[in-house]
Amino acid sequence: MKILIVEDEKALLSTVGNFLTKQSYICELAENFQTADQKVSIYEYDIILLDITLPDGNGLQLLKTIQKYNSKAGVIIISAKNSLDDKINGLDLGADDYITKPFELAELNSRIKALIRRRQFNGSSLVAFNEIEINTDSKEVTVKGNKIVLTKKEYDLLLFFIVNRNRVLTKEAIAEHLWQDNIDLADNFDFVYTHINAVRKKIKQAGGNDYIKTQYAMGYKFTDS
Examine the fold and report which residue of 119, 154, 179 is the final residue of a domain before the chain moves on.
Answer: 119
pLDDT tens by residue, 88-113: 777 888 889 988 888 999 999 989 98
Radius of gyration of the chain (CA): 18
User: Is the confidence at residue 150, as pLDDT, over 90?
Assistant: yes
Res. 40: pLDDT tops 90? yes
Mean pLDDT across 209-225 = 91
200 pLDDT above the threshold of 50: yes
Alpha helix positions (H), the chain: 10-22, 33-42, 59-69, 84-92, 105-120, 152-163, 171-179, 190-205
Shared-domain flag, residues 136 and 93:
no
| Percent of the chain clearing pLDDT 90 (strictly above) | 44
Minimum mean pLDDT among 20-24, 68-72, 116-120, 194-198: which range?
Answer: 116-120
What is the secondary structure of 47-67 as a DSSP string?
Answer: EEEEESEETTEEHHHHHHHHH
Which phi and psi angles does 154 have, rounded to 5°?
-65, -40
Q: What is the pLDDT of residues 2-37, one digit of tens each?
A: 899 999 999 999 999 999 988 878 899 999 999 999
43 and 101: one domain?
yes
Same domain, 137 and 74: no
Instruction: Quote the number of domains for the chain.
Output: 2
Strands ordered across the beta sheet of 146-148: 126-129, 132-135, 140-143, 146-148
Mean pLDDT of the chain: 87
For residue 43, the domain's CATH number is 3.40.50.2300
Question: What pLDDT score was predicted for residue 185?
Answer: 47
Q: Select from 76, 93, 119 the last residue of a domain.
A: 119
Does 81 share its domain with 158? no
What's the confidence (pLDDT) of residue 177?
A: 77
Check whether residue 138 and residue 215 sit in a common domain. yes
pLDDT at 9: 93
Range of the structural domain that residue 196 is part of: 126-222
Q: Tell me, what's the pLDDT at 49? A: 97
pLDDT for 137: 82
pLDDT at 86 over 90: no
Predicted pLDDT at 180 = 62
Which residues pair with residue 77 across a beta bridge? 50, 98
pLDDT at 75 over 70: yes
**pLDDT band at residue 163 under the 50/70/90 scheme:** confident
